[in-house]
Each structure stands twice: as structure tokens, then as C-alpha cells.
Amino acid sequence: MKTLQQVLNQKTHQGIISIAPNRPVYDALVILAEYKIGALAVIRDGVLVGIFSERDYAREIVLKGRSSKTTRISEVMTEKVITGKPDELVESAMSTMLEKRFRHLPVVDNGKMLGMLSIGDILKETISYQQELIKQLENYIHS
């Protein structure tokens, strides 16, 4: 099974899509729509300080009747972010994401964010690994 760094290396978009905590939520929504993603890293002075997701928007803006144009990201972002390490195996990350019930995992090494993986990225890699394993077992059986 691959490491998180190997999965990050395979992604077509290598850049980190982020937003500053002092920006309005509306700006985050524009970025999410533009890149067709579900979450943004919230970065201040080069350091990951939170994550803002569609889930945060639904729970903290829509359901509470707040304005996305006047509410700042820092007011509604998830601050306690679980991160993965580049040498962590996909299987371990998937277990953590499923157990803790979150869909976006920033990969961080020595305080520096390397990228973000979604549960879709993790599942895609897991399925690919299992398909390859099945193929190898079938070849072994037939030889």
C-alpha cells in the first residue's frame, strides 16, 4: 500500500489551495466552486491554523442564519485539524478518517503543509490497490 506522499505525488493539482483566516466566507465559497473541491486549508503566515469545508458552511453559516459576506473564516473554521504524515500508509489514514468522521486530510511534515487528500483520493487508492492484489492472486492461482 502507498504512503500519503505517494498519493499526493499522483494528484494532478499539486498546489495547496488555501485561504487566510481573516477573509470572508464568501471568498472561500468562490474558491471551492472554482476548483470544485470541498475544503480549504486555512493558513496564516505559512502555518496551517484550520480547515474550512462545505460542512462548516452548512452548519455555521446557513443553519445559523449568518452572512457569508460579513463572517470571517476564523469565526467558523474547524480549528482542531487532524493531519497525516507523508510516510503514513493510506490504510491508516482511511481508518482515521472513517473513525473520526471527516473527509479532508491535510498532509503535514515538520509543520509544513504538503497537500490535502480527500476521502475520495484515499478510497480511489485503496480500490486500485485491492484490484492489483486480486489480479496478482488470480495470476498466482492460474500459474
d(CA 86, CA 18) in angstroms, rounded, equals 19
User: What local confidence, expressed as pLDDT, does residue 14 receive?
Assistant: 65
Domain with 66, as residue range(s), is 4-142
pTM of the model: 0.89
d(CA 127, CA 51) in angstroms, rounded, equals 27
Return the H-helix or E-strand segment holding 135: helix 119-142
| Residue (of 25, 23, 22, 42) closest to 33 by Cα position | 25
Interval 95-121 mean pLDDT: 95
pLDDT tens across 4-36, in order? 999 999 987 768 999 999 999 999 999 999 999
Q: What percent of the chain clears pLDDT 90, i.e. is strictly above it?
A: 87
| Residue (of 3, 8, 6) closest to 117 by Cα position | 8
**Is pLDDT above 70 for 78?**
yes
Contact 4, 107 (CB under 8 A): yes
pLDDT tens across 34-75, in order? 999 999 999 999 999 999 999 999 999 999 999 999 999 999
**Total count of domains within the chain:** 1
* Band (100; pLDDT cuts 50, 70, 90): very high
For position 37, which CATH number holds? Answer: 3.10.580.10
